[in-house]
Amino acid sequence: METIFADLRQMRRTPLAPTHVEALRAAGKIATYPAGAFLAQPGDPVDRFVYVEEGEIEVVNPYTGERHLSSTLGPAQFMGEISFLYGGVWSMPMRAASDTRVIEVAREKMLTLMSQIPEMSDIVITVFSARRRRQLDEGDGSLLLIGEEEDRNLRSIAAFAGRNRIPYASLPLTGPEAQAAARRCSIAPGRPAVIFGRDIVVTEPTPDKIARLLGLNLDFRNDESFDVLIVGGGPAGVAAGVYAGAEGLRALVVEDVAIGGQAGTSSRIENYLGFPTGISGADLLWRGEVQAMKFGTRFAMPRRVSHLERLGDGSFCATFDNGQRVRGTAVVVATGVQYRRLPIDRLQDFEGAGIYYAATEIEARYCKGTEAVVIGGGNSAGQAAMYLSRSARCVRLLVRGQSLAASMSSYLSSRLQADPRISIEYGAEVSALHGSGRLEALTIRNAKTGESRVDTQALFIMVGAAPNTEWLSGLVQLDAKGFVITGTEAGAAASPFATSLPGVFAAGDVRAGSVKRVASSVGEGSVVISKVWEFVNRNA
């Protein structure tokens, strides 16, 4: 249990300096709480920064009402979590364990202080990030899933939460803890459910509802204006968000599934500069998201831009899938690519119920002790096979071609070939799916050996790269495959990232001719902002 409190020990080693505390006192107000009073409840907005001067604050288990952690917050420590940066909500109850006096600083004032005092900002963000990592490691939050393994909708909630670094707990449907939670919430036992806090049952749960509940999906004023709209939250989009905020641009990043995009589904990226032992795509992009929020960039998810139009004054209006609209002086298209859906009968019947397009910790649980099948010959497929081999009994990689040399990094293909738990079948494809309710088996057609049936509950499809550009059709020039044409080919010699429509730029995998690698997407997202800045200031 001692490792749970690494964030608290870190804060004791690097407390806020006396000058930081004086700045808090000048910007905030003194508040007192008697023993037993709650300072925060799950779902309350994180609207203030709380620094403890005297007394003690404890984290409370939302279900039992008892002290949750053995360590508490005392003098010179502070309340808060990473949701403070984006104006989200508290994930756990916080209570005064004794009579307590604190300094409270309103969120907007605190964000201003953090921008003015970078040393204080570094301490606060380090502690907030450590707390979130602890919560993720322990499955420690106020979001509870019951029966995730039985229900497709709950699996989509788990995937959304996991990819967006949202802490949650998952209970098997028939376990005693699940039955106790059902009784507490007055719901029928033995039925899948999503519960928030002590007893809030989410009816017909969707990622959008969960995002709203957790304060992730903030409503915007209709026609609210930004300097730049960044459509897509993958490596290029997040990098653009970091650099836009750092340059003082008012930026909004819009993502329809989870921050990280397709890269966020990679269990381990080993060839990214600075991480010699590798890093998961979700963790890499989460760090970028926190960095962007530090500079004031805002995020909207899960939100899809369904329509983009140019207005009479030269600015742009983006319409979301829920009808909301926002405006931007410039637009960065960073929607990346998505895996192709294969033309296999009954594919849709099993999506989320045995067929997956990501291989993270969430999906790995669904194939524990069984044979997993991965379709694809690129790095993402190879990384998925390596990761899944830790939990699956064995992994079968199906490659349509006769070699991996042209599509996969050499270090990765060598590891696959050397791993006894992984078999590679060349010239193979899936021709049929079998099951009732969820995937139970599939038929593989091999060019040399013919057809064979394989019993499996987990098929991972990581094939092809279809650009997400339907919403841009007719607005900017696209190539025959739907990728965005930029630079001189689009008649925009001033920038290799400019499109055929002034004010609209493209970066990352969605751009025609780009190198489909995480590092190159990050580079493009970083560099494109210099031209965005010029355009915004020229049209201010």
Q: Digits of tens for pLDDT over the chain (540 positions)?
A: 333 344 444 444 458 999 999 999 999 999 999 999 999 999 899 999 999 999 999 999 888 889 998 889 999 999 999 999 998 999 999 999 999 999 999 999 999 999 999 999 999 999 999 999 999 888 888 899 999 888 888 999 998 998 888 999 999 988 888 988 888 888 888 899 999 988 889 999 999 999 988 888 766 777 899 999 999 999 999 999 999 999 999 999 999 988 888 888 887 888 888 999 888 888 999 999 999 999 999 999 899 999 999 999 999 999 999 899 999 999 999 999 888 889 999 999 999 899 999 888 888 888 888 999 999 999 889 999 999 999 999 999 999 988 898 889 899 999 999 999 999 999 999 999 999 989 999 999 998 888 999 999 999 999 877 898 999 988 999 999 999 999 999 998 889 999 999 999 999 999 999 988 899 999 999 999 999 999 999 987
Domain that holds residue 531: 224-338+468-475+500-538
What per-residue confidence (pLDDT) applies to 252? 96
What per-residue confidence (pLDDT) applies to 45? 93
Of 137, 159, 186, the residue that ends a domain is 137
- Whether residue 13 is found in the same domain as residue 131: yes
The total of structural domains in the chain comes to: 4
- Whether residue 129 is found in the same domain as residue 179: no
What per-residue confidence (pLDDT) applies to 437? 85
Of 461, 492, 514, the residue that ends a domain is 461
Helix (H, G, I), strand (E, B) or coil at 458: strand
493 inside domain: no
What per-residue confidence (pLDDT) applies to 12? 45
What per-residue confidence (pLDDT) applies to 70? 87
Q: Give the up-direction half-sphere exposure of residue 302: CA atoms within 13 A in the CB hemisphere.
A: 17
- Whether residue 375 is found in the same domain as residue 419: yes
What per-residue confidence (pLDDT) applies to 5? 41
490 inside domain: no
CB 330 within 8 A of CB 536: yes
What per-residue confidence (pLDDT) applies to 218? 66
Query: In angstroms, rounded to a whole number, what is the distance separating the alpha carbons of residues 354 and 350?
Result: 6
Query: In angstroms, rounded to a whole number, what is the distance separating the alpha carbons of residues 60 and 58?
Result: 6
Return the amino acid letter for 139.
G
CB neighbour list of residue 264: distance below 8 Å, 6 or more residues apart = 163, 234, 258, 281, 282, 285, 358
What per-residue confidence (pLDDT) applies to 281? 87
Helix (H, G, I), strand (E, B) or coil at 244: helix
In 115-198, where do the E strands start and end?
143-146, 169-171, 193-196
Return the amino acid letter for 68.
H
Other CB atoms closer than 10 Å to residue 513's CB: what's the count? 12
- Looking up residue 7, the CATH number of its domain turns out to be 2.60.120.10
- Whether residue 124 is found in the same domain as residue 162: no
Of 176, 205, 234, the residue that ends a domain is 205
484 inside domain: no
What per-residue confidence (pLDDT) applies to 8? 45
- Whether residue 233 is found in the same domain as residue 304: yes
pTM: 0.90
